[in-house]
Amino acid sequence: MLKRVFLALVLVIAALVAVVAVNTWRTPSRQVAVAPAPPLSIDLPAAARRLAGGIQFRTVSSLEDPAGNSAEFDKLHAYLAEQFPKVHATLKKEVIGQHALLYTWAGSDPKVKPIALMAHQDMVPIAPGTEKAWKVDPFGGVIEDGFIWGRGALDNKGNLFAQMEAIEGLIGSGFKPAQTIYLVMGDDEEVSGLRGALPIAELLKSRGVRLDWVLDEGLLVLDGVLPGLSKPSALIGLAEKGYATFFLSLDTAPGHSSMPPAHSAIGQMSAALARLESKPMPGGIKGIAGQMFGTLAPEMSGLNRVLLSNLWLTGPLVESQLEKSPSSNAMLRTTTALTIVRAGNKDNVLPGRAEAAVNFRILPGDTIDSVEAHLKSALGNDAIQVKRYPGNSEPSPVSPTDGDGYRAIERSVRQAFPDAIVAPGLMVAATDSRHFSLVSDQVYRFSPFRAKSEDLARFHGTNERLAISNYGEAINFYQQLLRDTAQPQ
Q: Which residues are catalytic?
A: 122, 189
| DSSP three-state, residue 431 | coil
Using an 8 Å Cβ cutoff, are 187 and 102 in contact?
Answer: no
Using an 8 Å Cβ cutoff, are 357 and 346 in contact?
Answer: no
Nearest to 45 by CA among 478, 472, 475, 474: 472
Q: Is the dihedral of CA 406, 117, 418, 234 positive or negative?
A: negative
Using an 8 Å Cβ cutoff, are 481 and 405 in contact?
Answer: no
Beta strands 181-186; 92-96: pairing state: unpaired
Buried b (16+ CB within 10 A) or exposed e, 378-403: bbeeeebeeeeeeebbbbbbbbebee
Residue 52's identity, in one-letter code, is A
Contacts of 40 (CB under 8 A, 6+ apart): 472, 475, 476, 479
Using an 8 Å Cβ cutoff, are 464 and 149 in contact?
Answer: yes
Nearest to 449 by CA among 60, 162, 230, 226: 162
Q: Any bridge partners for residue 362, and if so which?
A: 242
